[in-house]
Every structure is written in structure tokens, then in C-alpha cells.
Amino acid sequence: MSVIGAVDIGGTKIAAGIVDGDSRVLARRSAPTPAADGPKAVLAVAARLVREASLDAGVEPVAVGVGTAGVVDAASGMILGATEALTGWTGTPVALLLAAELGLAVHVENDVTAFLLGEAKAGAAVGLADVVAITIGTGIGGALLVGGQIVRGRTCVAGNIGHVPSPEAGDRRCPCGRSGHLEAFASGPAMTAVYGERSGRPVADLREVALRARSGDALAEEVLRAGAAAVGRIVGGLVNVLDPALILLGGGVLGLGPWYVEAVADAVSREVLAPLDAVMVRAALLGGDAMLVGAAAAARTAKASA
């Protein structure tokens, strides 16, 4: 059975793997992202990791799938918009450049879309046709599966739940440049900042806030639970609009513990209309492999339909 190369390009790390037809990751490689060095440097590392993973697995891929942050035109493999976490990433023809580097067909998806596709293929969303996926970490991203199809929207921006107005955010500045969005209140850096402001004791990162919460700091726990509730409130509104079977949660903030998923689910239940209260809220099952499995699945589908 043929295998697919898969790449997950993040702002701090690039991961690559070789994925077989049963969605098993046969080999993995990773390296720091040369984020400040421009797209060609980033893609050179991605290509090297695919080659190394291929050698580790002892098999050559027939195509490559990529998941990356940013607004992605999956049809062309072009980055339509991105933050400066990856310098110069906006406008990068990722599929074209990586295909030239590797000599293989390349398919590109947004990273949260790849995450959703991976969990639908072999994780928490297997067998479900209607899913809302949200990842909460450095930022907050989303992807939508409706009737078994990814919803991309007219300009490929569909699913950006992090940039929905959130009452809790008030006038807090969002990384997108606007104010009052969910990401400005409930992402990892946002909760860290809120705690520092309210306590008068700035902290380095969310792990320190979580440690203080576990040590009995009532304000730290309050801030974390407020972030979870804000996510659940917005997601509950989406449930009323889209009527999904599952809310799928992922991202580094889930490292806070199982209570975080439960807190999101509680907030969702308070928002949904009565016929929708059976909607499931689950954490992803595949961990860091979800994006690799999803990117590979998308590339396999694209190759089959080419």
C-alpha cells in the first residue's frame, strides 16, 4: 500500500511523518522552525524532514500533505493570509515550492482543518459527518465539517472561531489587530496576561498559572475557568447555528487537565437549545499525530482525484 508524507508547520516547530493507508504514522521527525528566515528556509527544513522520515520508514511517499497556520487556499496550496509568526508566510505558494523541492505532488490545508480531518479519519470524530473543531493554544482556531464536507467559505476563512466577539474580552486587543475577540481572552497567552493584570504578579506562561491554580490560588483557577467558559459560550452559539454531533477540542490548553473539557461542555450545555443538548464535547485522541494523519488523508484524496 502506498504511503504519504505529512508535514505540520508551526511557528516554533516543524513535524513530518510517513503515514500509511491505515492512518498509521510509520516514522516521525521534527526540528525547530526557522520562522524569521523566510518561507524558503521553512520549506527547506520541511523537505529535509520528509526525506529523513522516509529513510526511517524505509519507504518512499507518493505525495505529501501539509498542515500550516494561516488562511490556506487548498485548491492552489497558497497561503492567503498569516500572522508574522512565520515571516513572509502570506502569499507563499507552499504546494508549488515544496513540490519543486521534493518532486512530489503536494496538498496544503490549514492546520486546524488537518487536525479535524485526522480525528475524523482515525480519532475522536470517526464516523461523524457534522463536527465543529476548536484548538486552543497560543491562538484559537477552528474548522467545520458539515454533511461530511469541510466548509471553507468563499475566501477560505470559515471556522475562525477565535475571532468571534466575546463579551468577556471587553476591549482587550486581539493578535489580529482588532479588539474584543475570543482569542484575546481565552487563548493561553491571553489567560496568562489576564492573571498577571488581575493579580499584579506577572507570570511567564500558562503553565505557571496552572501551577498556581493547583496550589490553591483561587484567582488563577478563576481565570482559567473563565477562559473555558468563554470558549463554551461561543461554541454553544455555534451549536445552535450548525447542529453538529460533536464539538472536538484540541490544542495545548487542554494540558490543563480533563476539567477543562468538562468546563467547556458545561458552558455549551447552558447555551444550546433543548433539542441540541445531546451534542458531544470531546478531547482529540491522536495528540500531535492528528495534523499529520489529516494532512496525509487530504493529500491521498487529492491525488486520487487528480
pLDDT over 70 percentage in the chain: 100
Same domain, 68 and 186: no
Mean pLDDT of 73-102: 95
To the nearest 10 degrees (0 to 180), the angle between helices 218-242 and 258-271 is 50
Q: For the chain, what is the domain count?
A: 2
Rounded Cα distance, 300 and 198, in Å:
49
pLDDT at position 306 over 80: no
pLDDT at position 1 over 80: no
> Coil, strand or helix: which one is 55?
helix
Q: What was the pLDDT predicted at 261?
A: 98
Same domain, 142 and 277: yes
In order, the DSSP letters of 237-282 are HHHHHH--SEEEEESGGGGG-HHHHHHHHHHHHHHS-GGGTT-EEE
Residue 249 near residue 136 (C-beta atoms within 8 A):
yes
pLDDT at position 104 over 90: yes
Q: What was the pLDDT predicted at 83?
A: 84
Q: What was the pLDDT predicted at 10?
A: 92
User: How far from the centroid of its chain's Cα atoms is residue 84's Cα?
Assistant: 17
Contacts of 241 (CB under 8 A, 6+ apart): none
Tell me, yes or no, whether 233 lies in a domain: yes
Q: Which domain holds residue 128?
A: 124-283
Rounded Cα distance, 60 and 245, in Å:
37
Question: pLDDT for 20-38, tens place per residue?
Answer: 999 999 999 999 999 999 9
Grade residue 244 by pLDDT with cuts at 50, 70 and 90.
very high
Rounded Cα distance, 11 and 9, in Å:
7
Residue 227 near residue 252 (C-beta atoms within 8 A):
no
Amino acid letter for position 218: A
Mean pLDDT of 38-56: 98
Grade residue 278 by pLDDT with cuts at 50, 70 and 90.
very high
Question: pLDDT for 167-193, tens place per residue?
Answer: 999 999 998 889 999 999 999 999 999
Q: What was the pLDDT predicted at 85?
A: 85
Q: 165 forms bridges with which residues in the sheet? A: 181
Same domain, 134 and 105: no
Same domain, 139 and 105: no
Same domain, 48 and 133: no
Q: How many CB atoms lie within 10 A of CB 86?
A: 24
Question: pLDDT for 211-222, tens place per residue?
Answer: 999 999 999 999
Same domain, 60 and 138: no
CA quadruple 107, 113, 114, 118: dihedral, nearest 10: -130
Rounded Cα distance, 237 and 300, in Å:
34
Same domain, 106 and 134: no
Average pLDDT of the chain is 97
Tell me, yes or no, whether 303 lies in a domain: no
What is the DSSP code (8-state) at residue 3? Answer: -
Same domain, 274 and 139: yes
Query: 91: exposed, middle or buried (C-beta count within 10 Å: 0-12, 13-18, 19+)?
Result: exposed
CA quadruple 7, 86, 183, 16: dihedral, nearest 10: 10
Rounded Cα distance, 33 and 51, in Å:
17
Residue 97 near residue 41 (C-beta atoms within 8 A):
no
Residue 38 near residue 89 (C-beta atoms within 8 A):
no
